[in-house]
Amino acid sequence: MDTSYKTFIFLLLFIKPLTVYGFFAWGPCPSIPLDIEKYVSSKSDYFLYSAGNFRAIDYLGTWYGITKTIDFPWSSGNCTQTLYYIRDDKRVAVLNSEIINGNNVSMLGEVFVDTNIPGQLYPKFFRYAPLGDYKVVHTDYTRTALVFTCRSFGIFHWKYVWVIARDFNIEEVPGYYKIIESLGIPISKLVKTNHEGC
């Protein structure tokens, strides 16, 4: 049995079942729709600005996790929140925190802004770690934001989406559902972040 056939069998048996979680798909990463406005309700107060005119300075501050893809790899606890702020050396820092098994767990990192791609941020949490992919697909800066990340491995990719808000009491943001589905993630594969007792 040649190597390419063994690789195909491996992908078929071990990778394909991951599609039940909604974050695995064949082919390259999907592109963010250029006409993003058609996917949101014009009557919704949540949608004031798109990533096309993203302003990183207005994105700073505290955000709380609201909804995320099932088996989201960077957050497994409750009371998820993220703080973006400017350090004394003028760089942008990010502090992620959550409660796991009753313990407050946090991670400090740095964020790099790609000025050539609106809404594109690159977080980094360890010195020798590669830059992460963080795309702000849509936000109004004061209430909610939709974030998407994707890693392509040639013939397949993993993708995740999460909704964050300035107030963790926001129940859900259905206005983002069409965008999420356009990225190939079924709404049934999302899970709400627990903020009880935070």
- 15 belongs to a structural domain: no
Secondary structure, 3-state, 124-185? ECCCCCCCCCEEEEEECCCCEEEEEEEEECCCEEEEEEEEEECCCCCCCCHHHHHHHHHCCC
How far is 120 from 141, CA to CA, in rounded Å?
15
CATH classification at residue 100: 2.40.128.20
Determine contact, residues 33/39, Cβ cutoff 8 Å. yes
Q: What is the pLDDT along the chain (198 residues), one digit of tens a residue?
A: 554 444 443 333 344 444 334 477 888 888 777 666 666 654 444 444 455 678 889 999 999 999 999 877 777 788 999 999 999 999 999 999 999 988 999 999 999 988 888 889 999 998 888 888 999 998 889 999 999 998 888 898 889 999 999 999 887 777 888 889 989 899 998 989 999 888
Residue 60 included in any domain: yes
As for how many domains the chain has, the answer is 1
Please check whether residue 125 lies inside any domain of the structure: yes
Domain encompassing residue 82: 20-192
Nearest to 178 by CA among 37, 64, 82, 17: 37
